């Protein structure tokens, strides 16, 4: 529900092992970024667990915080705070 059913209009980007969607939590109205781990990913569950463990232990003012994860019906989702200014690679590699 937060991402309007993983709507293409909420798609923020596509990474190495999934798509990232913008969403908003219904009750708190908190903006979030939801990473849907791709079924095409060769490591899938290993990457999912590794990202939970590594980002769950990190805390820094310049890093987005992992808020949670879920596994509905065999799908894998990671939920992060939303960073409104976009990704760092946009500022490093964007030539416009």
SS3 assignment for 5-18: CCCHHHEEEEECCE
Alpha carbons 78 and 35: distance in angstroms, whole number: 5
3-state helix vs strand vs coil in the chain, percent to 5 = 25, 30, 45
Report the relative pairing of strands 11-15 and 18-24 from DSSP bridges. antiparallel
Instruction: Give me the pLDDT at residue 59, please.
Output: 76
Instruction: Give me the pLDDT at residue 22, please.
Output: 93
The annotation status of 35 as a binding-site residue, yes or no, is: yes
pTM of the model: 0.75
- pLDDT tens across 6-27, in order? 889 999 888 777 889 999 988 9
Q: What is the CA 32 to chain-centroid distance, rounded?
A: 8
Which residue ranges in the chain fall short of pLDDT 70?
Answer: 39-44, 86-89, 95-96
Alpha carbons 81 and 67: distance in angstroms, whole number: 7
């Amino acid at each position: 529900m937060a991402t309007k059913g993983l709507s293409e209009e909420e798609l923020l980007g596509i990474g190495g092992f999934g798509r990232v969607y913008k969403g908003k939590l219904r009750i708190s109205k908190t903006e979030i970024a939801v990473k849907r781990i791709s079924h095409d990913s060769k490591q899938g569950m290993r990457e999912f667990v590794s990202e939970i463990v590594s980002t769950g232990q990190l805390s820094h003012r310049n890093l987005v915080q992992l808020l949670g994860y879920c596994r509905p019906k065999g799908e894998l989702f990671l939920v992060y705070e939303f960073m409104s200014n976009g990704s760092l690679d946009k500022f490093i590699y964007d030539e416009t």
